[in-house]
Amino acid sequence: EPRREFIEKNAKFAENLAKPFGMAAQSSELFLMGLFSVLDAILDKDMEEALKLVKVSKNINDALVSKTGVYGPLYEFIVNYEKANWQEVSRQMILLDINLNDLYDAYLETLVWYRKLTLGK
């Protein structure tokens, strides 16, 4: 199921980016943000309408609806990363002082986590 794989990886990647973005204490909530980031597509509704059907924090809502608030920059970063918009990813890394090794580690940890999840090991 490609969609399920995308959702799970997206959620874990958001969680793994918590530390590089200085939000380690919010890693669980960032996992939820990543999980709900495709709710609009799943429900075939716009994001604002889709999020009314589930209870999420204002921080998650603001990020997913308008890429604003505390989580907005992290969500925007993930969207650019998914779209392979490397120029924008690089720009954000410079502006947000994100270390390339931290980004690499976050993505690699996501792939390792997903492999363990799917292999049951």
Instruction: Please give the single-letter amino acid code of residue 46.
Output: D
**Model confidence pLDDT, tens digit, residues 22-64:** 999 999 999 999 999 989 988 999 999 999 999 899 999 999 9
What's the predicted TM-score (pTM) here?
A: 0.87
CB 30 within 8 A of CB 23: yes
Neighbours of 33 (CB within 10 A): 25
